[in-house]
Structure 1
Amino acid sequence: MTALAAAPRRATHTTPHRLSFAHLLKSESIKILTLRSTWWSLGITAGLSVGISLLIALATGEQSVGMEPTTVILAPTQFTMLVAGILGAIVVTGEYSTGMIRSTLTAEPRRGAVLLAKAIVVALTMMVTTVVIYAVAIAATAPLLGTSIDWATPADSIVPLALGVMSMACFTLMGVGFGFLLRSGAGAIAVTVGVLFVLPIMLSLFTIAGPDWMWVAESSKYLPVSAAGSLTRPGADDLLEPALTMAGWVVGPLLLGWVALRSRDA
């Protein structure tokens, strides 16, 4: 016993356990897909998108000059973008309200990896959902429109639909960024709705203020909703500027959210 007591203790050093990124993605997928709010948001998105497309098809299908089938499918984006942005916000702020974010950051102390994993899972979830919604809407509206999408012309079919899927993912990522930045569900939702819905209306009011204020109204083309409209317009060929605009609106909030996540306690 004396010898054991006299023996020097071996120093032990422990390092924080870190999850592999694959396990982190799996963890985030389980958290997000087991939330009722996620399925409610996706269900509302599907209902709005298919329902509005059907109404448009009913209203224009019997006219001699109707809307392009691709436009009918993409038109509801101006409404469903709000649900997408709100979903991204509540996925993040819900963890702060329940305190689960502390457990998440204890299991994975690399905060940038947490933000990246959550962003990837939420974006992929919205993209897959949007693809399914478009497929259902195309099948449901084709008999009413009396014509189908011309898949032989990618610029009028595949390209705008693919960019529509990407736009929905971008709206969701904006909500994720605002969620990490503000941490408050009400605050993140208010900012998301303000940027996507209120701000375009406010800028459009300057069209009646005279030519001296037209530059304010014209600046609305740099808002995410205008960029998405330009990207998803069938036959559009100038996609660089709206693509950069949309990328800026995604990277900006995510970068600010990352800074807030790293600089503040959970």
Structure 2
Amino acid sequence: MTALASAPRRATHAHPHRLTFAHLLRSETIKILTLRSTWWSLGLTAALSLSISFLLALASSDNGGMFSPVMILVAPIQFTMLVAGIFGAIMITGEYSTGMIRSTLTAEPRRGAVVLAKALVISLLMAATTVFTYIAAALVAAPLVSGGMDWSEPSSSLLPLLFGVASMVAFTLLGLGFGFLIRNGAGAIAATVGILFVLPIVMSLFAMAGDRWAWIYQSVDYLPSNAATTLITAGATDVTGAAIALTAWAVAPLALGWATLRSRDA
């Protein structure tokens, strides 16, 4: 027997193929852009924002400029935040309902990469939609605003708009986090709407409950919707605390969703 024949054979096991992160981003982008729910959500966000801004501009022009030009653009966030949160939730719960999540994790077993890629794609889509609506709203509102839109002071004009974009992204990630965590469309939407809309109302009721419960009422400022309101208000002082609170509300559910995805089968 020759030396070649007697030599041990090398292992021929191939490593499972993994997508590069760039390919994963491209895959998630194609997947999300081909969903009708994506375009309905983004279209509704833009339409609702433009409609409210137009009505506020009309009201302001009829009442001697009762709203500042920047407030006309960012005020709709109080309503579009719900659409953003629901958009984030359904972008993952739809995959659980159809079973597509199993195909996704088969192609890319690194679950953290899947969460990150989906978060990046929907964040960019929501940010782009929000920027588009601000530009369109500014063009629509400018003829109705006395003196036009004033951009000379960035801290009271551009900065609230940037905070508005960041807030819409945060609401989207909040919904996505609850989607990964709950894995059910109705449940994730209920949790998202509850945090964004119902909880501030409930906690505000404690303002009438006396000093013993004052800490609950005072905590309202750190809920995501209230923190966003602080950030988009021109001349607001406690922007650091509001920014930290809003970031935490975006990151915490997403981190919990990632932990759940790692510990449970899809």
Class of the TM-score when normalised by the shorter of the 2 chains? over 0.9
- Cα deviation code 1:13-60 (max 9, x no counterpart): 121111111100000000111100010001111111010111111112
Aligned to 2:42: 42
- Cα deviation code 1:120-177 (max 9, x no counterpart): 0000000000000000111111112223232110011110001100110010011111
What displacement does 1:209 show?
Answer: 2.2
What displacement does 1:11 show?
Answer: 3.4
Does the 8 A contact of 2:65 with 2:146 survive in 1? no
Aligned to 1:260: 260
Q: Secondary structure at the match of 1:265?
A: coil
Aligned to 1:60: 60
Does the 8 A contact of 1:92 with 1:176 survive in 2? yes
Does the 8 A contact of 1:150 with 1:156 survive in 2? no
Q: How does 1:202-217 map to 2 (within 5 A)?
A: 202-217=202-217
Aligned to 1:180: 180
Distance 1:50 1:263 in 2: 42
Aligned letter for 1:59? A
Does the 8 A contact of 2:223 with 2:245 survive in 1? yes
Q: When the two structures are superposed, what TM-score results if normalisation uses the length of structure 2?
A: 0.95
Aligned letter for 2:103? S
What displacement does 1:7 show?
Answer: 10
Task: Indicate the RMSD between aligned Cα atoms, in angstroms.
Answer: 1.6
Distance 2:174 2:25 in 1: 19
Q: Secondary structure at the match of 1:66?
A: coil
The count of residues paired between Structure 1 and Structure 2 equals 262
- What percent identity do the matched residue pairs reach? 61
Aligned letter for 2:87? L
Structure-2 change in CA distance of 1:65 and 1:140 (3 Å): closer
Distance 2:142 2:210 in 1: 43
Hey, which bits of structure 1, 4+ residues long, moved more than 4 A?
6-10
Does the 8 A contact of 1:155 with 1:236 survive in 2? no
Aligned to 2:116: 116
Does the 8 A contact of 1:61 with 1:146 survive in 2? yes
Aligned to 1:133: 133
Does the 8 A contact of 1:69 with 1:147 survive in 2? no
Q: Secondary structure at the match of 1:84?
A: helix
